[in-house]
Structure 1
Amino acid sequence: MLRLTSPATVVVLAALTALGPLATDMYLPAMPEMAAALDTGPDQIQLTLSLYMAGFALAQLICGPIADRFGRKPVMIAGFALFLVASLLCAFAPSIEWLLVGRFLQAFGGSAGPVLGRAAVRDIHGPLEAGRVLSYMASTMALAPALAPVIGAGLLLLFGWASVFVLLALYAAVMLLILVFLLPEPLPPEYRQSTSPRAILANFHLLLGQRAFVGYTLTNAAAFAGMFAFLSGSSFVLIEFMGVAPPLYGVLFTLIVGGFFTGTLLSGRYSRRLGHDRLIQLGALLCALGGSSMAALALAGVFTPWAVIGPHMLYLIGFGIVMPQSMAGALAPNPRIAGSASSLFGFLQMTIAALGGALVGQFHDGTSRTMAIAIGLGGMLALVAYLGLVRSAPCAVPAAEQSRNRA
């Protein structure tokens, strides 16, 4: 078994959390071919992404409270087992309807990794150190979205789109073995909570009554919605509209993930010096600047790959700063219900992103305008949420937790 505080445990938690970006990013280059193979349109294929996010959001409301009662490890084992079966269903889906069912079940199982990975960091490292650890964990996780489209494009050319989901099933199988044999249970017995509906709803009510929790969550959700708009529309914009070849699309995607990687490194390096809030303000400003720049270029009729990739790299630098710090800020005052807090945080994040992605697919006009406007709105709303809710909220980290963190 690994030591909970060892660097290897952080890497394992990052690998478990990476299931989310792998399941969303790896099949992006294959989306146009999947539409042709399943005899459907871009809107239905984009729906597989939005439905995944909707299922992901719904499942988080369930797995977090259950993990607060029974522990993180058994819930993650069950989730990864379901993800494995669902991935095989996607790989061999004979129609778009079966693919949609498989994607929903994938999301339901895959939600356990990101939700409980965040909660486990809070369990192990406390409120103040969690932001730094989550930042470095996000840096490790950045390898997933950086490599996923490149791997997906290669699999598409060599074996066809179904091979992407076979590889996801193999990844889930490896993670299951690591969970069973290497990862200890991170949740202390004294922090176990009731799973009665009244207790769960009371916890959610408590969280929604915290101005800081709502502010951190909405800041993250708005910024994530802008990123998800890119995931939902970029393959159709860059490959179909701008004529970018699938392998080059994978390379360009790797470049923008480099922006996210840079943001997470900056977040980790300056977390102790600047604190959550100053970093989030900087990140939200960068998101607003990058998103509004892309929207302005699209509205001016500048339709080149670099008019999309350049601004989105800046956007993802900002999101790389916002994401881990807003997660840590939302979970900080809630040590005994970290699973529920992570669940509600993720539910709101994914629900807002799924709605944004569905709108991008619904109003796609064959150009980059709809996607760019959605990304611009995401960046601006993240900044508004921070300024309106987070900046004026009092800090609510329990004194005992702060003492524990400094010990």
Structure 2
Amino acid sequence: MLTLTSVWTTILLAAAVALGPLATDMYLPALPQIGRDFGAGTDQVQLTLSLYLAGFALAQLICGPLADRFGRKPIMIAGFVLFAVASVGCALATNIETLMLCRVLQALGGSAGPVLGRAAIRDIYTPREAAKILAILASIMALAPAVAPTIGGVLVANLGWSSIFLALGGYALVMALVVAFGIPEPMRPDYRQPLRLCSLLRNYRSIGTDLSFLGYTLTNALIYAGLFAFLSGSSFVLIDFLEVAPEHFGLFFACMVVGYVSGNLTAVRLGRTLMPDQILVRGLVIAVVGGALMAGLALAGVYNVWAVILPQTLFMVGTGMVLPQTMAGAMANFPRMAGSASALFGFGQMAVAAVAGVLVGHLHDGTSVVMAVIIATCACAALASYLLLVQRHPAPGFEPQEASAQ
């Protein structure tokens, strides 16, 4: 059993949290093929993504309080087992409706990894330390979306799309064993919360009315919605519109991941000299520039792969700087309710992202315009959220020293 502050513990937590990105990114190259096999339209196929996120969001509201009561490990293990069973159901689906149902069940189990991974980091580290560790964790996690679409494309081309879900189920079972036998329980026994409805509602009200929490959560959710808009629309734009081969899709997707990792590593490096909120605003500006550039090119009728990938890579540099800071900032005030805070944070993130995904699916016009405009809009809205909320209500320990002394 590893120690909580071990580098390997961080790596294993990252691998556990990565199940969420894997469940969306690995089957992106298969979306057009799934639509053809089931005779489903773009909006129906895209709904398998948005329903996953909606289920993911709601499930976090349950597994967070459960983890505050019973600990992080048992809830995470149970979630991984449920995810594995649902993945087999996805692989055996014979129509789009069954696939949608199994995707929701996948989400119920898969939500345990990210929400409890964030809570575990808050259990172990202080808010400022957590921001740095989350950035490192995000860099490790980025390996999943870097390779997942390529693996998914190869599996689709050689074994069919159902093999992707079987691979995801196998990964979930491995992670259940890793968490059970490799990671200690990070939650302090005296931090356990009672599992009563009135207590849950009181905790959620306390968290949800905290202006600092609201600011960081909304900023995070809007940036993540821009990312999910790309995830929802990229396969249709790149494969159907720009005629990229499914097995090559992951290579272009990897460019975006390189941008994300660069943003994470930049955040870690800047964290030695800058406060987290100073890193956050720099990342938001970069994301706005990337989103605006993609939208401008699309509206001008510039339709090629690099007019999508290069601006999205820049957007992802900013995203890589923003996400760790907002995660740590949102949970800074709630060391005794880290599971519930992480759950409510994740609910907001996934709910807003699901709306962005639905909009991409329903408004898709066969080009890159809709996806690009939604990404740019999300980036601008995230910057506005920072200026109106986060800047006025920074997390404790996130302010510059001059401000905190006043």
- Per the alignment, residue 121 of structure 2 pairs with 121
Identity of matched residues, %: 56
Contact 1:215 1:385 (8 Å CA) reproduced? yes
- SS of 1:351's partner is helix
User: Residues 243-264 of structure 1: CA distance to partner in whole angstroms, max 9, x if unpaired?
Assistant: 1111221100011110001001
* Displacement of 1:201: 1.2
Which consecutive unaligned segments of at least 5 residues does structure 1 have?
A: 399-407
* Structure 1: 4+ residue segments shifted above 4 A: none
Does the 8 Å contact 1:132/1:269 carry over to 2? no
Q: Which residue of 2 aligns with 1:183?
A: 183
- Residue 29 of structure 1 aligns with which residue? 29
Per-residue Cα deviation, 1:162-208 (whole angstroms, up to 9, x for no partner): 00000001101111111221211100001001111111111111112
Match of 1:160 in 2: 160
SS of the aligned residue for 1:107 comes to helix
Q: Which residue of 2 aligns with 1:207?
A: 207
Q: Is the 8 A contact 1:154 1:247 kept in 2?
A: yes
| 1:307-386 map, 5 Å | 307-386=307-386
CA contact (8 A) 1:132 1:272 kept: no
| 1:108 aligned partner | 108
Distance 2:30 2:181 in 1: 34
Q: Distance in 1 between matches of 2:340 and 2:190?
A: 16
* Alignment-derived partner of residue 286 in structure 2: 286
Aligned to 2:171: 171
The DSSP-based 3-state class of the residue aligned with 1:274 is coil
The alpha-carbon distance between structure 1 residues 77 and 145, as it changes in their structure 2 partners (threshold 3 A), is same
Partner of 2:402: none
- Residue 35 of structure 1: how far off its partner (Å): 0.7
Contact 2:38–2:95 (Cα < 8 Å) also in 1: yes
Whether the aligned pair in 2 keeps the contact of 1:87 and 1:106 (CA below 8 Å) is yes
Distance 1:39 1:344 in 2: 37
Residue range with higher mean Cα deviation, 243-252 or 153-162: 243-252
| Equivalent position of 2:90 in the other structure | 90
How many Å separate the matches in 1 of 2:291 and 2:325?
Answer: 20
- Contact (CA 8 Å) 1:333, 1:397: kept in 2 or not? no
Rounded Cα–Cα distance in structure 1 between residues aligned with 2:121 and 2:269: 18
Aligned residue number for residue 222 of structure 1? 222
Q: CA deviation at 1:394?
A: 4.5
Matched residue SS, 2:274 = helix
| Distance in 1 of aligned mates of 2:155 and 2:27 | 9
Which amino acid is the alignment partner of residue 14 of structure 1?
A: A
Query: Alpha-carbon deviation of 1:397?
Result: 5.3
| Aligned AA (1:22) | L
User: How far, CA to CA, are the matches of 1:134 and 1:384 in structure 2?
Assistant: 24
Superposed displacement of residue 37, structure 1: 1.1
Equivalent-residue separation in structure 1 for 2:214 and 2:177 (angstroms): 36
Match of residue 254 from structure 2: 254
Paired with 1:363 and 1:394, the residues of 2 have a C-alpha distance of: 36
Structure-1 separation of matches of 2:208 and 2:51: 25
Match of 1:405 in 2: none
1:69-84 counterparts in 2 under 5 A? Answer: 69-84=69-84
Amino acid in the other structure paired with 2:266: L
Q: Normalised by the size of structure 2, how large is the TM-score? A: 0.97
- Work out whether residues 257 and 313 of structure 1, in 8 Å CA contact, stay in contact via their aligned partners in 2: yes
Give the aligned residue type for 1:99: L
Structure 1 residue 273, shift from structure 2 partner: 1.8
State the one-letter code of the partner of 2:377: L
Matched residue type, 1:281: V
Match of 2:366, SS state, is: coil
The question of whether the paired residues in 1 share the 8 Å contact of 2:330 and 2:395 is answered with no
Letter in 2 for 1:222: L
* 1:112-158 CA-partner distances (Å, limit 9, x unpaired): 00000000001011222101100000000000000000000011111
SS at match of 2:75: helix
Q: Name 1:136's counterpart in structure 2.
A: 136
Aligned length: 398
Contact 1:289–1:315 (Cα < 8 Å) also in 2: yes
**Residues in 2 aligned to 1:373 and 1:98: alpha-carbon distance in whole angstroms:** 32
Conserved? CA contact 1:259–1:317, under 8 Å: yes
Take 1:97 and 1:6, find their aligned partners in 2: how far apart are those partners? 44
Q: Aligned partners of 2:272 and 2:93: how far apart in 1?
A: 48
Q: Deviations over 1:339-377 (max 9, x none)?
A: 111000000000000011001100111111110010001
Aligned to 2:401: none
Q: TM-score, normalised by structure 1?
A: 0.96
* Alpha-carbon distance in 2 for matches of 1:77, 1:248: 34
What per-residue deviation string (whole Å, max 9, x for no partner) do you get for residues 26-46 of structure 1? 000011011111121111110
Amino acid at match of 1:372: A
How far apart, CA to CA, are the structure 2 residues paired with 1:282 and 1:63?
A: 33
User: 2:329 touches 2:395 (CA, 8 Å); kept in 1?
Assistant: no
Say if 1:149 and 1:395 are closer, same or farther in 2 by CA, change over 3 A. Answer: closer
Q: Please tell me the residue identity of whatever aligns with 1:109.
A: G
- 1:272 to partner: Cα distance: 3.6
Amino acid in structure 2 at the alignment position of 1:108? L
Distance 2:397 2:139 in 1: 25
Question: Aligned partners of 2:394, 2:169: CA distance in 1, in Å?
Answer: 44
For 1:61-90, what per-residue CA distance to the aligned partner results, in whole angstroms no more than 9, with x for missing partners?
Answer: 110011011100000011001000000000
Equivalent in the alignment of 1:306: 306
CA contact (8 A) 2:75 2:112 kept: yes
